Amino acid sequence: MSYTNIIEQNQAWIDETWQKLDDKLSRVAVKSRYKIPYTTKNGEHNDCSKGKGILTWTNGFWGGLMWQMYVGTGKECYKLTAEQVEKTLDNAFSYMDSWHHDVGFMWHITSGVNYRLTGNVASKNRNLISAMSLMSRYNVDGEFIRCWNGTWHGEDVSGWSIIDCMMNIPILYWASKEIGDTRFTKVAMRHADMSMRDHVRADGSVNHIVMHDTNKPNTVLGVRAGQGYSETSCWSRGASWALYGFTLSYIHTKEDRYLQTAKKVAEYFIKETEKTAWLPRLDFRQPEEPLYYDSTAGAIASCGLIELAKNVENETEKEKYLSVALHILKAMEKNWCNWSENEDSILQMGSLMYEKEQHMPIIYGDYFFAEAILKLKGTDFLAW
C-alpha cells in the first residue's frame, strides 16, 4: 500500500486525534501561558520558569508544542503562548552559569520556529547565539561535541558524548544555511560521524554515553549506562533520539550513511517494540520485572519513522515505517493518553531513566506526540 493510501485508511483516526489535541490544548494554552511545564502535579502543569529552574533542558518543549499547534490550526491562542514562553525563556540568558549541549531542545523549536514562521529578528538572534554556543562545545582534537559540564556520579565528563545530541545538531545545519557559513554543518557532520561509529552498535541498538580521549579522534575509552539499565543494554529513548536524529541529519545533508544508520536503528526499535504490543519499554534489555515503559520513546520514534517513510525510496520500507508509526501512536493513544479536562498533560507513562521517575507525564512526550500527528495530517513544516 502506498504512503497516501495508508494515510487515507487512517484519516478518521488522525483527524479525530488532532481534534482531541486541539480541544484540550487550546484550553491549556491559555491556562499555562505563564508557565514552562515539565510534568503535572494533581493534574496541574508544574512550572520550571522560576530562578535556576529556567535552565531546565526541557524548557523548549511547551513553547515548541504551541508552535506545532499554531502551524496545524492557525489559532492565535497558541501563538500568544509560544511568544510568551520565548519571552520567559530569555531569563535563561541571565541565569546560565554554564552552557550545555541541549540548546537545540531549548531554542531551535521555540525561537528557531518563531523566526522561520514570522521572520522575527530577535528570535533569529536567540537561535544563532544558541547555535554558536553548541559549536563552542566541539572538541577539535577528539572530534565530538561534549555533552554536560562538571561531573556525573563523580566522574569528569569533559570527554563524554551522548546520543541525545543527535537531536541538537539540527540547529547547526540551520545556522550554516542561515548565515552561509559551512563550518556549522561540518561540525555537525563530524559529530554525527562519531556518533554513527561509537554510539550505534552493529545490531542497531545504542550506547547512551561514550567516553572519548579529548586529545585524539576515534578513541573510545569506555561507555556508561546513563539513563538506561546497563552499559550493554539499550535505553529506548536513546534509540529514539538516534532514529529521529540520524533521519534529520540525512534530511539536512542528503548523506546516505545517515539514512542507512537511521534505518538500522529503526529496524532494532521496531523489532523490540513489536514484542510489547507497540508500547515501548524503558530499556529494551531491562529485566522482565519491573516492567518499565517509556511513552516518550514511542512519540519520538514515531516522528522519526514518519520522516523515514517520507525519505526512503523503496515502497515496502515506506509502508513499514509509516505503518509502525501508526501502530505505536494508536497503541499509546488507546492506553496512555488522558483527554480529560482535569489533567493538563496528555501522554502519560513517560520515564526519565531506569533508576528513577518512571511512568509520569513528561512535556516532550506531548510535544512529540503532537508533532507526529501533525506530520500525519500532512504538514510540510519541519521544526528541526
Q: How far is the CB of 189 from ligand GLY (least distance, A)?
A: 21
Alpha-carbon distance of 5 to 287, in angstroms, equals: 39
Q: Where are the alpha helices (DSSP H) in 38-120?
A: 61-73, 76-89, 91-95, 103, 111-118
What count of Cα atoms within 13 Å lies in the side-chain half-sphere of residue 2?
A: 3
Nearer to ligand GLY, 270 or 300 (CB): 300
Q: How far is the CB of 287 from ligand GLY (least distance, A)?
A: 21
Single out the residue of 78, 42, 36 nearest to residue 59, CA to CA. Answer: 36
Nearer to ligand GLY, 29 or 328 (CB): 328
| Cell numbers at 302, concatenated | 514515531
Nearer to ligand GLY, 167 or 322 (CB): 167
Q: How far is the CB of 362 from ligand GLY (least distance, A)?
A: 8
Among residue numbers 14 through 73, which ones bind ligand GLY (CB under 6 A)? Answer: none
* Contact predicate 275/288, CB 8 Å: no
Nearer to ligand GLY, 164 or 193 (CB): 164
Nearer to ligand GLY, 48 or 322 (CB): 48
Residue nearest to ligand GLY (CB): 164
Nearer to ligand GLY, 321 or 354 (CB): 354
Q: Long-range contact list for 137-142, CB < 8 A, 24+ apart?
A: 137/99, 137/100, 137/101, 138/187, 138/190, 138/191, 139/212, 139/214, 141/214, 141/215, 141/216, 141/217, 142/212, 142/213, 142/214, 142/215, 142/216, 142/217, 142/219
Q: How far is the CB of 105 from ligand GLY (least distance, A)?
A: 7
Q: How far is the CB of 117 from ligand GLY (least distance, A)?
A: 25
Alpha-carbon distance of 254 to 99, in angstroms, equals: 30
* Contact predicate 222/211, CB 8 Å: yes
CA-based radius of gyration for the chain: 19
What is the enclosing helix (H) or strand (E) of 41? strand 40-41
Q: How far is the CB of 151 from ligand GLY (least distance, A)?
A: 17
Among residue numbers 135 through 174, which ones bind ligand GLY (CB under 6 A)? Answer: 164
Query: Considering the rule CB under 6 A, would residue 237 count as an interface residue with ligand GLY?
Result: yes
Please state whether beta strands 209-212 and 220-224 pair in parallel, antiparallel, or not at all (unpaired). Answer: antiparallel
Q: Where are the alpha helices (DSSP H) in 97-235?
A: 103, 111-118, 121-135, 170-179, 183-198
Place of cell 544555511: 177
Query: Considering the rule CB under 6 A, would residue 116 count as an interface residue with ligand GLY?
Result: no
Q: How far is the CB of 353 from ligand GLY (least distance, A)?
A: 7
What count of Cα atoms within 13 Å lies in the side-chain half-sphere of residue 42?
A: 0
Kindly give the interhelix angle for 11-31 and 363-377, rounded to the nearest 10 degrees.
140
Nearer to ligand GLY, 110 or 227 (CB): 227
Nearer to ligand GLY, 114 or 296 (CB): 296
Query: Considering the rule CB under 6 A, would residue 227 count as an interface residue with ligand GLY?
Result: yes
Q: How many residues bind ligand GLY (CB under 6 A)?
A: 3
Q: How far is the CB of 148 from ligand GLY (least distance, A)?
A: 10
Q: How far is the CB of 368 from ligand GLY (least distance, A)?
A: 11
Nearer to ligand GLY, 18 or 57 (CB): 57
Chain residues in the site for ligand GLY (CB under 6 A): 164, 227, 237
